[in-house]
Amino acid sequence: MNQQKLLDRARHVMPAAGIGNFDPDVIIREGRGSRVWDEDNNEYIDYLIGSGPMILGHGHPEVIAAVTEQLGKGMTFFAQNAHGIELAEEICRVVPCAEQVRYVSTGTEADMYAMRLARAFTNRDKIMKFEGGYHGMSSEAQMSLAPENLVNFPVAIADSAGIPESVRGEILVAPYNDIDFVRALLLEHGSQIAAIIVEPLQRIIPPAPGFLEALREECTKHGVILIFDEVVTGFRVAYGGAQSLYGVTPDMCTLGKLIGGGLPLAAIAGKADIMAHFDKEKIGASGFVMQIGTLSGNPLAAVAGLKTLEILRRPGQYEKLQGIGETLMQGIRHRLESAGHEVQIVGHPTLFDVVFTDSSVKNYRDWLRGTRNKAADFHAYLKKKRILKGLGKFYISLALTDDDISQTLDIVADAANNIRQQ
């Protein structure tokens, strides 16, 4: 179907003519392996990969076979199923903090419930987060997610209309990778803080040496629950997630994306005494956290997740994934620097992006000081040449081929010369 006609139809029935995610003017028809095609049959190398979950590429035959088999048995039941139990067992086996698991459908829900559990467990109300950290779409998460107005820490700024002013008072904001500021906040407010929620790798920004370890120590000292948001990093940066990679165990973590194999599935995982607040019989009515979701832990997503994790466990998969990412990171840096651009390639080989700056990037404000108009030009040029990526990162998949990498680097070289001349 003609893409422009579809866009015209979308404008009548969808706000901003889209679903609220990626550029609405790109309407994807299908994906196979490392490539996707839009409704005008334009072919793209895909570094968006569904915003991360398609780590095996699109239409992996083993995942398709598993989902197809389950389709014949039922899609969802609003009841317990064996595949959901099996997936929870695997998560508890390999994710360090996971003694028990509770399913939801989205990362937003997982983060919201993790914060609610921390409040129930500690009988405290305040949450500390880090400026620029992404934790979904709840009111708490939408505080200082991507502020343009940079106020003094620890004041929170709402990034969305419709958030009650009262939410601001329950959120404390710190700069990522600044443990001294965290310590100062805990000394002043520690008895009121239920949890610190953090992306162990914040968007694309890695933790400074010792930062996560110090967070763990300070949370233990002040009786604060440490939550790792691993919706992105879980089973991507390592099989056991970022907590396995960095050797720091939180009290809870949230998972999503990969565990559903491309279908809607997310989870809260944590220590049994915290997770007990989902069990009314065990914890009592006063401490009970109600959680119900129509599609939570449905068997279709569970089998897709189980098969995805099974494939990721095979020898050499993470080595291959990291090797692809390292080749791209080095190649992109070389081509941009050779054209005279000052850049930082920020992130991990499995997810990273280009920041146009000559300074190191340790937090959101460092990222913000990068040359964003040049970054936008770079992104637009890649899109024009049929490289599909989000504004914030390259997601690496196992489906990428040597030809994909070579073609990508050629386009990056062209982009480097193109944006230099502007």
What is the spatial distance between Cα 130 and Cα 202, in angstroms, rounded to a whole number?
9
What is the spatial distance between Cα 112 and Cα 215, in angstroms, rounded to a whole number?
21
Contacts of 51 (CB under 8 A, 6+ apart): 21, 22, 257, 390, 395
Q: Tokens 């979950």: give the residue.
A: 53
Catalytic residue positions, numbered: 134, 229, 257
**Closest residue by Cα to residue 118 from 253, 212, 246, 23:** 253
Give the pair of three-digit tokens for residue 4: 């422009």
Q: State how far the alpha carbon of 230 is from the alpha carbons of 136, 267, 275, 289, 363, in Å.
A: 12, 10, 17, 21, 18
Instruction: Annotate the chain with three-state secondary structure.
Output: CCHHHHHHHHHHHCHHHCCCCCCCCCCEEEEEECEEEECCCCEEEECCHHHCCCCCCECCHHHHHHHHHHHCCCCCCCCCCHHHHHHHHHHHHHCCCCCEEEEECCHHHHHHHHHHHHHHHHCCCEEEEECCCCCCCCCCCCECCCCCCCCCCCCCCECCCCCCHHHHCCEEEECCCCHHHHHHHHHHHHHHEEEEEECCCECCECCCCCHHHHHHHHHHHHCCEEEEEECCCECCCECCCHHHHHCCCCCEEEECHHHHCCCCCEEEEECHHHHHHHCHHHHCHHHCCCCCCCCCCCHHHHHHHHHHHHHHCCCCHHHHHHHHHHHHHHHHHHHHHHCCCCCEEEEECCEEEEECCCCCCCCHHHHHCCCHHHHHHHHHHHHHCCEECCCCCEECCCCCCHHHHHHHHHHHHHHHHHHHHC
